[in-house]
């Protein structure tokens, strides 16, 4: 009986509960951070308020950058549990945690119980995966459904029973439909391209005969088509904006201001896979060396290798890059690494982990000097406080690496030591990630409008206009539970303003007329904008001021 099987029989649920407690513990603790967390908390809030779950809106303006599945999930959480920081992040937490269980389930059926256990442990403690499971973006949700689609494909293609194969393939098609509703056509294009590359590399096109195309496409369209039909019916401009601009233009040009050089993802991958970075390279090399043509027999490991490499190269050549774009690689890499770990001796694993210790010790030595990164007095205070959290995170991580290395040097109980060492390092890594994420709350005064909202809430009345001049603080609408009229500011809302220009004030001169006509009104603006408006003789009374923003009322 394997060690992993023995532990899963006795302590599996305690491990799951322990990971769940650590995983979900800090969803409410941190203030929302601009821009993404504010944006993806506010759009669902406006859905609940308006009752329109078809047309996504940001600050009351049409916003067609992404499909609605995560908005719907978060809006549902708001409806059931209320509008809180934790409910705004709940979808990321749930899909991230479910992704760990999904990797275990898939690995169990493909590579065995021991490999499955290792794969789940590695995924949940990989730094980028752990961080992105607690930050409100769309990437964790789409990663879960892409992984579910791949799992259905792998389990279906390796089945000999035709009924079971059909059911797994239908699950794969359904998952890809949900991936499309999570983040657009990449939910279909990426798996399709990876499967084609796999078929060419393996010289095996029989996989396409087992896809159950007619029934699968019917399931896919049943999931995706209703919303696309309804949103295009209500908004004829949707097709050009969503399918052309947000997909083709985003990938092929630098239009969105997210261009980075080709090597941008190198440090992201190296740091994001910590503490398993060297294990990842060892696994990729050995999987490549062990890959072979298998005729008409589907090779799950080879497909996972193709998927991971393809995702990296696809986003490397993209004109738009963000760190979280690599996230769909991680479940596939975890499955391959779990498989590799089963056959790896403790000595080899020791030397794959040992080089991580100098890095964690370096982090421990540098963490106290975090404040030196500050550019402003506000940052100086926040970064200084953040240093304590980073010291704690680096200390726990370093101790975890040291404990793992000691355990791996116990040859008398090598197999048991390997598992315990992996668990110790994994838990220390997850705790370090959670401490680092939670500690970021010390910088909230610069990156979140929580404190602004608390200070001005007594002045805010639902029936009085509120203007946002030369800026849009993404987290403020969520905390104040209201939208703003933008003044001389467009940015990502330029498309929505073009569709409904009456919701926008284009310049100071137009704003002066509107402001003078109001008996009562509020406005938020950058400090420099306030100075400009004072020179234009705007009548304003300051009700809040910090180094970045000033909020004024009509005197």
Last residue of a domain, one of 404, 421, 447: 447
The answer to the question of residue 318 being in a domain is yes
Q: Cβ atoms within 10 A of the Cβ of 22, count?
A: 16
pTM more than 0.85: yes
- Record the tokens describing residue 43, joined without a space: 């759009």
Say if residue 483's pLDDT is above 70. yes
Tell me: do 230 and 289 sit in the same domain.
yes
**SS3 helix, strand, coil % of the chain, rounded to 5?**
70, 5, 25
pLDDT of residue 1: 42
Tell me: do 296 and 414 sit in the same domain.
no
Last residue of a domain, one of 329, 344, 359: 344
CA distance 350 to 417: 11
Say if residue 7's pLDDT is above 60. no
Can you tell me whether residue 59 is helix, strand or coil?
Answer: coil
Task: Please check whether residue 49 is in contact with residue 460, taking contact to mean a CB–CB distance below 8 angstroms.
Answer: no
Q: Which of 520, 547, 538 is nearest to 469 (CA)?
A: 538
Say if residue 291's pLDDT is above 80. no
For the stretch 42-65, pLDDT in tens is: 999 999 999 999 999 999 999 999
Tell me: do 256 and 398 sit in the same domain.
no
Tell me: do 224 and 297 sit in the same domain.
yes
- Record the tokens describing residue 290, joined without a space: 């062990």
Residue 122 pairs with which residues in a beta bridge? none
Can you tell me whether residue 494 is helix, strand or coil?
Answer: helix
Q: Cβ atoms within 10 A of the Cβ of 229, count?
A: 11
Q: How confident is the model at residue 261 (pLDDT cuts 50, 70, 90)?
A: confident
Residue 549 pairs with which residues in a beta bridge? 526
Tell me: do 513 and 426 sit in the same domain.
no
The DSSP code for 469 is E
Last residue of a domain, one of 417, 447, 477: 447
Q: How confident is the model at residue 13 (pLDDT cuts 50, 70, 90)?
A: confident
Tell me: do 269 and 409 sit in the same domain.
no
Structural domain span for residue 478: 450-553
The answer to the question of residue 212 being in a domain is yes
Tell me: do 455 and 423 sit in the same domain.
no
Number of folded domains that form the chain: 3
The answer to the question of residue 176 being in a domain is yes
The answer to the question of residue 112 being in a domain is yes
Handedness of CA 132, 138, 144, 146 (dihedral sign): negative
Say if residue 412's pLDDT is above 90. no
* Least trusted range by pLDDT, from 80-84, 201-205, 359-363, 467-471: 201-205
The answer to the question of residue 141 being in a domain is yes
Q: Which of 282, 166, 151 is nearest to 218 (CA)?
A: 166
pLDDT of residue 45: 98
The answer to the question of residue 367 being in a domain is yes
For the stretch 125-136, pLDDT in tens is: 999 999 999 999
The answer to the question of residue 53 being in a domain is no
CA distance 283 to 540: 63
The answer to the question of residue 36 being in a domain is no
Q: Largest Cα–Cα distance in the chain?
A: 84
Say if residue 330's pLDDT is above 50. yes
CA distance 78 to 272: 31
Q: What are phi and psi of 351, to 5 degrees?
A: -75, -15
pLDDT of residue 414: 57
Q: How confident is the model at residue 204 (pLDDT cuts 50, 70, 90)?
A: confident
Higher pLDDT, 320 or 8: 320
Strand pairing class (485-487; 466-469): parallel
Say if residue 155's pLDDT is above 90. yes
Tell me: do 157 and 301 sit in the same domain.
yes
Q: Cβ atoms within 10 A of the Cβ of 226, count?
A: 12
The DSSP code for 40 is H
Tell me: do 461 and 434 sit in the same domain.
no
pLDDT of residue 410: 75
Tell me: do 524 and 432 sit in the same domain.
no
Say if residue 413's pLDDT is above 70. no
- Tell me, letter by letter, the H, E, C secondary structure of 103-146: HHHHHHHHCCHHHHHHHHHHHHHCHHHHHHCCCCCCHHHHHHHH
* 465-501 CB burial, b ≥16 within 10 A, e <16: ebbbbbbbbbbbbbbbebbbbbbbbeebbebbbeeee
**How high is the mean pLDDT of the chain?**
92
* Least trusted range by pLDDT, from 73-77, 271-275, 289-293, 317-321: 289-293
Tell me: do 164 and 278 sit in the same domain.
yes
Tell me: do 138 and 223 sit in the same domain.
yes
* Backbone torsion region of residue 308, taken as left when φ is above 0, otherwise alpha when ψ lies between -120 and 50, otherwise beta: alpha
For residue 241, give Cα distances in angstroms to 298, 418, 498. Answer: 39, 52, 12
- Mean pLDDT calculated for residue range 419-429: 95
Q: What are phi and psi of 540, to 5 degrees?
A: -140, 145
Task: Please check whether residue 382 is in contact with residue 451, taking contact to mean a CB–CB distance below 8 angstroms.
Answer: no
């Amino acid at each position: 009986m394997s060690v992993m099987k023995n532990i899963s029989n006795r302590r599996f649920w305690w491990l799951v509960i322990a990971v769940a407690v650590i995983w979900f513990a800090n969803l409410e603790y941190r203030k929302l951070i601009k821009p993404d967390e504010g944006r993806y908390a506010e759009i669902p809030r406006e859905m609940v308020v308006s009752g329109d779950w078809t047309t996504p809106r940001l600050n009351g303006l049409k916003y067609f950058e992404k499909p609605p599945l995560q908005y719907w999930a978060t809006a549902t959480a708001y409806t059931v549990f209320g509008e809180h920081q934790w409910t705004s992040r709940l979808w990321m937490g749930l899909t991230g945690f479910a992704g760990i269980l999904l990797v275990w389930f898939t690995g169990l059926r493909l590579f065995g119980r021991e490999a499955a256990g290792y794969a789940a442990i590695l995924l949940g403690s990989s730094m980028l995966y752990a961080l992105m499971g607690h930050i409100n973006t769309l990437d964790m949700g789409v990663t879960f459904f892409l992984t579910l689609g791949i799992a259905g494909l792998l389990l279906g293609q390796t089945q000999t029973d035709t009924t079971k194969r059909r059911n797994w393939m239908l699950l794969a098609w359904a998952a890809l439909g949900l991936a499309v509703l999570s983040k657009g056509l990449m939910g279909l294009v990426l798996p399709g391209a990876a499967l084609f590359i796999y078929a060419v590399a393996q010289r095996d096109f029989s996989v396409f005969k087992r896809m159950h195309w007619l029934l699968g496409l019917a399931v896919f369209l049943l999931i995706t088509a209703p919303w696309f039909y309804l949103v295009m019916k209500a908004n004829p401009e949707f097709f050009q904006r969503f399918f052309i601009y947000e997909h083709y233009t985003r990938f092929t040009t630098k239009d969105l201001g997210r261009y980075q050089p080709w090597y941008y993802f190198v440090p992201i991958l190296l740091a994001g896979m910590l503490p398993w970075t060297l294990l990842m390279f060892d696994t990729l090399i050995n999987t490549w060396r062990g890959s072979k043509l298998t005729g008409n027999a589907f090779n799950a490991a080879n497909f996972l290798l193709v998927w991971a490499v393809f995702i990296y190269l696809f986003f490397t050549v993209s004109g738009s890059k963000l760190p979280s774009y690599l996230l769909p690689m991680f479940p596939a890499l975890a499955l391959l690494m779990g498989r590799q770990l089963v056959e790896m001796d403790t000595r080899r694993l020791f030397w794959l982990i040992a080089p991580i210790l100098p890095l964690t010790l370096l982090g421990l030595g540098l963490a106290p000097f975090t404040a030196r990164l500050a550019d402003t007095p506000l940052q100086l205070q926040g970064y200084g406080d953040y240093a304590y959290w980073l010291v704690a995170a680096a200390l726990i991580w370093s101790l975890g690496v040291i404990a793992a290395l000691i355990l791996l040097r116990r040859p008398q109980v090598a197999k048991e030591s390997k598992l315990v060492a992996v668990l110790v390092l994994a838990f220390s890594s997850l705790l370090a990630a959670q401490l680092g994420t939670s500690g970021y709350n010390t910088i909230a005064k610069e990156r979140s409008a929580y404190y602004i909202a608390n200070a001005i809430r007594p002045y805010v009345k639902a029936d009085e206009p509120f203007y946002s001049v030369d800026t849009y603080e993404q987290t403020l609408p969520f905390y104040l539970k209201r939208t703003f009229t933008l003044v001389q500011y467009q940015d990502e809302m330029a498309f929505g303003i073009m569709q409904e220009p009456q919701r926008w004030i284009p310049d100071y001169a137009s704003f002066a007329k509107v402001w003078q006509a109001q008996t009562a009104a509020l406005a938020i603006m950058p400090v420099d904008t306030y100075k400009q408006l004072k020179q234009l003789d705007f009548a304003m009374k300051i009700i809040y001021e910090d180094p970045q923003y000033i909020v004024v009322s009509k005197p």
